[in-house]
Homo-oligomer: A and B are copies of this chain.
Amino acid sequence: MNKRIREILGWYSSDNPGTLTNLARLLNHGYLSGTGRLVILPVDQGFEHGPARSFAVNLPAYHPHYHFELAIEARCNGYAAPLGFIEAGAVDFAGQIPLILKLNNHDVLHDEKDPLSAVTGSVRDALRLGCVAVGFTIYPGSANCTAMYQQFREIAAEAKASGLVAVCWSYPRGSDLTKEGETAIDVVAYAAQIAAQLGAHLIKVKLPSAHIELPEAKKVYEKTKVPIGTLVDRIRHVVQSAFDGRRIVIFSGGAAKEDDNAVLEEIRAVRDGGGFGTIIGRNSFQRRRSDAIDLLTRIMKIYAGEMQ
């Protein structure tokens, strides 16, 4: 195992060999194997936004095998999806790509200001389906945050005891936050800290804006002059907020964009700010297969330092 991966595994010294093995599997797979960077394909939008909004633009994406193939062919580090999608291909693609079973989901047929996702899978499901990790979304700022933190804690404890990796999607949202506040730098940094304190191995957050939401935080940012002017600054600050960079923090690819350059610009900022990678769904499976592979390859080249 190379030095960088050994260094990263060293941050997780309380974990058992099973979990470290699965974390190494994720870090040592695909194009970015051994670089300490990750690009993961997530496909839960069928549940979260509905099938037509997710797949109508690229009809082959209705098929559950499509996404396994896309992640494998593009040489991503892993593929993350809800129970149904994973069950529909786990045997067919066994051993070809590290899998992350997404354990909670939410739909928009019933929406609410303070969301609480349904728990739709279990650590036992992840084990029987050969996954390396479980994923779970928390919504800090939601009136239901206590329930979600506790659900994540129990799942993370069971995952750790079972030798799996625990991935936390930490997405601030709720009636106490403004829309702008959901991606405010102080709020995203706080969300990363909460996920780290809850014991997540791998943390996914959104790209932070320069807005500061909480008045008490604003005073401190101003007084201590935390640099947040550029996206690179903000990425660095979020990574710092997750145990000074000793937890793997990856960033979302965001809403579908027609312009590849806009996507790549963000990737460079993540790289330069010390982010560990990207989880990119709509900007990959909503493109034609060859375009998606092309874009994903360019992203990975940026992370690998093979392209500016």
Task: Name A's B-contacting residues (CB within 8 A).
Answer: 11-15, 44, 46-47, 49-53, 56-57, 62-64, 82-88, 90-92, 105, 107-112, 116-122, 124-125, 128-129, 140-143, 145-146, 149-150, 153, 157, 172, 174, 176-177, 186-187, 189-194, 196-200, 214, 216-217, 220-221, 223-224, 226, 237, 240-241, 243-244, 246-247
Contacts and interface: CB of A to CB of B under 8 A. Distances in A.
Given A11-B88, A217-B50, A120 B149 contact: yes
B109 A177 contact: yes
B107 A13 contact: no
Most buried by B among A49, A112, A243: A243
19 contacts: A13-B92, A14-B87, A14-B91, A50-B186, A50-B190, A50-B217, A51-B240, A82-B197, A82-B198, A84-B197, A84-B199, A87-B199, A109-B176, A109-B194, A110-B142, A110-B143, A118-B153, A120-B149, A120-B150
Contacts of A44: 197
A83 B214 contact: no
Assembly of this chain: how many copies?
Answer: 5
A140 B107 contact: yes
B197 A125 contact: no
Contacts of A51: 189-190, 192-193, 240-241
